[in-house]
Amino acid sequence: LTNQVSSAAQARRLGRLARAATIGVCVDSERQVSLLDDAAKDAGVSMRVYIELDVGGARCGMTAASDVVSLARAIGCCDGLKFGGLQAYNGKAQHIRDWSSRDAVVRESARQTQAVVAALNTAGFDCESVTGGGSGSFEADVEVGILSEVQCGTYALMDADYMLVHRKDGSFLDSLFSSALFVLSSIISDRHADYVVADAGLKAMAFDSGMPLVAADANLVYRNPSDEHGIITSRKDAPLPRCGDRIALVPGHCDPTMAMHDRIHVTVEGTVEAVWPTVSGGSW
């Protein structure tokens, strides 16, 4: 679990899960350590805990090496917990489009991580795992070599924002990972000469990372999302789709888009092969 738990109920739930699965969880305070230790002992299990570092993401995580060493000592005193290492994930690095700017941020995160690993080693703690990275940074992470594991997720489906992230050789990330997540939308009105209306808007896709792309037709542009609609215009007077046509949209951000839907249709060469329920059930 690449997050912290903050209540006894959540910790107990994790403890119960740890009876059936190997559970690792992040911490950045003694309160979380104590909740998890109590829960692990109640459930009769051992849980692996990772101290989260803030390596530039400005989210959860500790920064001072001395604080990390103190927390590792607190974990070491817990019968129900095992110190597993560090989580050093910098979400802000992932979407930096240009390789050299992203590489510089990744190297700075790695420098901070390395300093904490050294302090832990000096204090007698072994960092079995140093986990972090994502689909945007993984190539730089691997080059730098501090992480023992990269946590890429988006690469499996991709989204319109990640498609524009540059790799070291100047190519886009979608040359490595092609889009596999689409929101299928119908054109529901074509009364106007210069635009048509699609039936997918703010309730169907996340827009925090920008507009969706119209798959398979670079001349069509999605704009002006509202609750249930989007406007499709065309570049260079290319023909617009007509009422009743369907267009596949590549959402700007796959993670929250996925959480808006309770199932996905898995297709192979245009044929639906399976319907999978999503974990969030469209109700988060």
Ligand X SMILES: Cc1ncc(COP(=O)(O)O)c(C=O)c1O
Binding letters toward ligand X, positions 69-108, x by CB under 6 A: --------------------x-x--x--------------
DSSP sequence for the chain: --S---SHHHHHHHHHHTTTS--EEEE-SHHHHHHHHHHHHHHT--EEEEEEB-SSS-SS-B--HHHHHHHHHHHHT-TTEEEEEEE---HHHHT--SHHHHHHHHHHHHHHHHHHHHHHHHTT----EEEE--TTTHHHHHHH---SEE---GGGT--HHHHT-B-TTS-BGGGTS-----EEEEEEE--SSS-EEES-STTTS--TT---EETT-TTEEEE---SS-EEEEESTTPPPP-TT-EEEEE-S-HHHHHTT-SEEEEEETTEEEEEEE-SSTT--
- By CB under 6 A, residue 129 contacts ligand X: no
- Residue number with CB closer to ligand X (196 or 254): 254
Neighbour count for residue 126 (Cβ, 10 Å): 9
Q: Closer to ligand X by CB, 94 or 257: give it.
A: 94
Least CB distance from residue 26 to ligand X, whole Å?
8
CB of 42 to ligand X, least distance (A): 27
Establish if 113 lies at the interface with ligand X (CB under 6 A): no
Q: Select the residue interacting with ligand X from 29, 34, 114, 151 (CB under 6 A).
A: 151
- Binders of ligand X in range 152-181 (CB under 6 A): 152-154
Of the residues 135, 179, 209, 257, which one makes contact with ligand X according to CB under 6 A: 135
Q: Which residue, 24 or 136, is less far from ligand X as judged by CB?
A: 136
Using an 8 Å Cβ cutoff, are 3 and 26 in contact?
yes
The reply on whether position 50 binds ligand X by CB under 6 A is no
| Cβ closest to ligand X, residue 4 vs residue 135 | 135
Please say which residue, 55 or 78, places its beta carbon nearer to ligand X.
55
Q: Is residue 134 near ligand X by the rule CB under 6 A?
A: yes
Nearer to ligand X (CB atom), residue 10 or residue 135: 135
Q: If binding is defined by CB under 6 A, does position 251 make contact with ligand X?
A: no
Query: Which residue of the chain is nearest ligand X when measured via CB?
Result: 134
Q: Which residues bind ligand X (CB under 6 A)?
A: 2, 89, 91, 94, 134-136, 151-154
